[in-house]
């Protein structure tokens, strides 16, 4: 069954400042023209969508805002497969090794931080094998490499440091921005990003994911079903292990969809079948629903562990590809400036709320919590979205924190305001640039801090700032 990509524009590139002005003009035209739409096949009926098995894989995806039963069953099956890896004399719960769960957030080009942290973690010699890896947006592009281990560190480094902006997206001129907003479905064209995904997300990677799935490990990627306005969690291992001829294409489309910022990047249309008819679901950035995820609070892990005798040490590692601090800036008195600044504030605290939810859920279930994020010590100039020099500097910052075994806190810190020298010089622009915003200078890295988590030798920090 083919997986269809939504059409996108292929405009010429211009500087990021001109693009921000273009978006403002485009939004005005969009409002005046009532945003004409492009034809597409209808989505499946809402009451049947939840039960649809894409590519015929019944456990190929989950709805984390609904009943947790399917996800719980998948977790139990994974635990059973893990138990088979140990001799009979070692299958008692007290003999199972510690379990590590990794959640990687979105963040645009700030994803270079998480990529560097993971590669540096390998260099420290203390990076664990993750039993569960989840990813959203930029985190979705990191997740497969983190899931498959250090053998893929070279590719992870390449994705986040060796590509120029034009290797990821094409930004339009003002005329095409206006036309795209009024009559298209996105401002930018992400064909270069899809080619980048194709180059790395190949059949060898899919086969490797399938092998790890059979060992009891889970790779979960989040998108947003825009038709239903609901988050979707894709079970990449089950899709990979299905043997379906379109599994690789679907895997690539899921990665692209998870990173497709609504309005800025084209959505991804995924064909599904119901009662002999073909429908199309529209999927966009998973960050439209949640910035980072692990498992829903409705999944009572502590109770499941007790009932199924699955007690073991567990640690959840959360990587926020962004700051916890707020970035001060002067907001101009204009509709566009006020609206975009408000959206950036909404997104920032949505991400913090997601982290707090994971923390409180872990605390309830007796799971150790660790968090790493971009701290105020990092400062680097950036000329625009996906500036290669900026991403290389941020990757190295994350790498050094991972290699030197520092940078993890045991609870979410309080939100503070960055000093003027750290905050951006100009107000944040549109939704896309907000999610890729970063500070503007560079200072030395902070000193090591004390404290070690129970299930690993990596030290953690207990102060609010790494």
Give the pLDDT of residue 418: 79
Measured distance CA(396)–CA(442) in Å, rounded? 12
Measured distance CA(9)–CA(56) in Å, rounded? 32
pLDDT band at 416 (very low <50, low <70, confident <90, very high): confident
Give the pLDDT of residue 194: 94
Backbone angles phi, psi at 317, to 5 degrees: -110, 120
Q: How many other C-beta atoms can be found within 10 angstroms of the C-beta atom of residue 266?
A: 28
Does 169 or 305 have the greater pLDDT score?
305
Give the pLDDT of residue 7: 40
Distance from the first to the final alpha carbon of the chain:
48
CA distances from 232 to 135, 190, 261, 308 (A): 12, 21, 15, 27
- 394's CB contacts (< 8 A; 6+ apart) are 109, 110, 112, 113, 116, 374, 378, 380, 438
Q: How many other C-beta atoms can be found within 10 angstroms of the C-beta atom of residue 220?
A: 26
Measured distance CA(466)–CA(451) in Å, rounded? 12
Give the pLDDT of residue 459: 43
Res. 140: pLDDT tops 60:
yes
Could you tell me the two tokens for 373?
A: 């994020």
Could you tell me the two tokens for 266?
A: 């084209």
> DSSP string covering 178-213, please?
HHHHHHSS-SSB-HHHHHHHHHHS-HHHHHHHHHHH
Percent of the chain with pLDDT over 70: 76
Measured distance CA(240)–CA(142) in Å, rounded? 17
Lookup result for tokens 């590519």: 55
Lowest mean pLDDT among 29-43, 65-79, 103-117: 29-43
In eight-state DSSP terms, residue 326 is B
How does pLDDT run across 98-129, given as a tens digit for each residue? 999 999 999 999 999 999 999 999 999 999 99
Is the pTM higher than 0.85? The answer reads: no
> How many residues would you count in the chain?
466
Give the pLDDT of residue 385: 85
pLDDT band at 423 (very low <50, low <70, confident <90, very high): very low
Give the pLDDT of residue 344: 87
How does pLDDT run across 181-232, given as a tens digit for each residue? 454 565 778 889 999 999 999 999 999 999 999 999 999 999 999 999 999 9
Angle 247-258/138-148 helices, nearest 10 degrees? Answer: 130
Burial of 12 by CB count in 10 Å (0-12 exposed, 13-18 middle, 19+ buried)? exposed
In eight-state DSSP terms, residue 265 is B
Give the distance between the most distant pair of CA atoms in the chain.
71
Could you tell me the two tokens for 262?
A: 């609504």
In eight-state DSSP terms, residue 378 is -
How does pLDDT run across 246-270, given as a tens digit for each residue? 999 999 999 999 998 887 888 999 9
Cα 386 to its chain centre, rounded Å, is 16
Give the pLDDT of residue 168: 86
pLDDT band at 67 (very low <50, low <70, confident <90, very high): very high
Give the pLDDT of residue 134: 98
Angle 203-214/247-258 helices, nearest 10 degrees? Answer: 90
pLDDT band at 453 (very low <50, low <70, confident <90, very high): very low
Quickly list H helices, 52-186.
69-83, 111-124, 138-148, 153-161, 174-183
Sign of CA dihedral 113, 119, 125, 129: positive
- 427's CB contacts (< 8 A; 6+ apart) are 329, 330, 331, 332, 337, 341
Measured distance CA(90)–CA(80) in Å, rounded? 13
Give the pLDDT of residue 383: 87
Give the pLDDT of residue 447: 37
pLDDT band at 150 (very low <50, low <70, confident <90, very high): very high
Backbone angles phi, psi at 87, to 5 degrees: -55, 155
Give the pLDDT of residue 438: 37
Q: Are 291 and 348 in contact (CB under 8 A)?
A: no
Mean pLDDT of all residues in 280-308? 93
Give the pLDDT of residue 174: 53
- For residue 366, the SS3 value is coil
């Amino acid at each position: 069954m083919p997986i269809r990509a939504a059409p996108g524009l292929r405009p010429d590139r211009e500087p990021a400042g001109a693009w921000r002005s273009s978006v403002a003009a485009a939004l005005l035209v969009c409002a005046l023209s009532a945003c004409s739409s492009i034809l597409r096949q209808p989505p499946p009926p809402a009451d049947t969508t939840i039960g649809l098995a894409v590519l015929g894989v019944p456990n190929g995806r989950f709805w984390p805002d609904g009943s947790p039963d399917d996800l719980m069953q998948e977790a139990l099956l994974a635990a059973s497969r893990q138990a088979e890896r140990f001799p009979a004399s070692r299958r008692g719960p007290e003999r199972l090794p510690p379990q590590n769960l990794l959640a990687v957030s979105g963040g645009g080009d700030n994803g270079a931080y998480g990529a560097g942290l993971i590669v540096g973690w390998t260099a420290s010699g203390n990076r664990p094998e993750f039993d569960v890896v989840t990813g959203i947006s930029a985190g979705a592009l990191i997740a497969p490499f983190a899931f498959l281990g250090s053998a893929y560190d070279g590719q992870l480094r390449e994705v986040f440091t060796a590509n120029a902006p034009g290797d990821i997206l094409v930004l339009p001129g003002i005329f095409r921005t206006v036309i795209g907003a009024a009559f298209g479905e996105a401002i930018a064209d992400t064909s270069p990003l899809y080619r980048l995904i194709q180059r790395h997300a190949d059949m060898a990677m899919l086969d490797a994911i399938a092998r790890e799935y059979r060992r009891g490990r889970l790779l979960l990627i989040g998108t947003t079903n825009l038709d239903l306005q609901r988050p979707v969690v894709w079970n990449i291992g089950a899709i990979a292990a299905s043997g379906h001829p379109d599994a690789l294409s679907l895997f690539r489309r899921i990665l692209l969809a998870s990173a497709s910022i609504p309005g800025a990047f084209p959505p991804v249309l995924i064909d599904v079948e119901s009662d002999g008819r073909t429908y199309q679901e529209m999927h966009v950035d998973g960050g439209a629903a949640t910035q980072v995820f692990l498992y829903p609070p409705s999944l009572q892990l502590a109770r499941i562990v007790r009932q199924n005798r699955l007690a073991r040490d567990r640690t959840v590692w959360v990587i926020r590809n962004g700051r916890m601090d707020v970035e001060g800036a002067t907001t101009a008195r204009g509709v566009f400036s006020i609206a975009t600044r408000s959206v950036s504030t909404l997104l920032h605290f949505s991400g913090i709320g997601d982290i707090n939810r994971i923390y409180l859920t872990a605390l309830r279930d007796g799971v150790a919590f660790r968090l790493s994020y971009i701290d105020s010590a990092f400062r680097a100039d950036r000329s625009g979205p996906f500036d290669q020099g900026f991403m290389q500097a941020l990757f190295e910052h994350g790498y050094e924190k991972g290699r030197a075994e520092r940078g993890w806190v045991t609870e979410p810190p309080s939100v503070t305001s960055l000093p003027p020298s750290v905050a951006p010089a100009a107000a944040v622009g549109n939704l896309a640039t907000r999610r890729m915003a970063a500070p503007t200078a560079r200072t030395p890295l902070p000193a090591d801090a004390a404290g070690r988590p129970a299930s690993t030798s990596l030290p953690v920090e207990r102060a609010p700032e790494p």
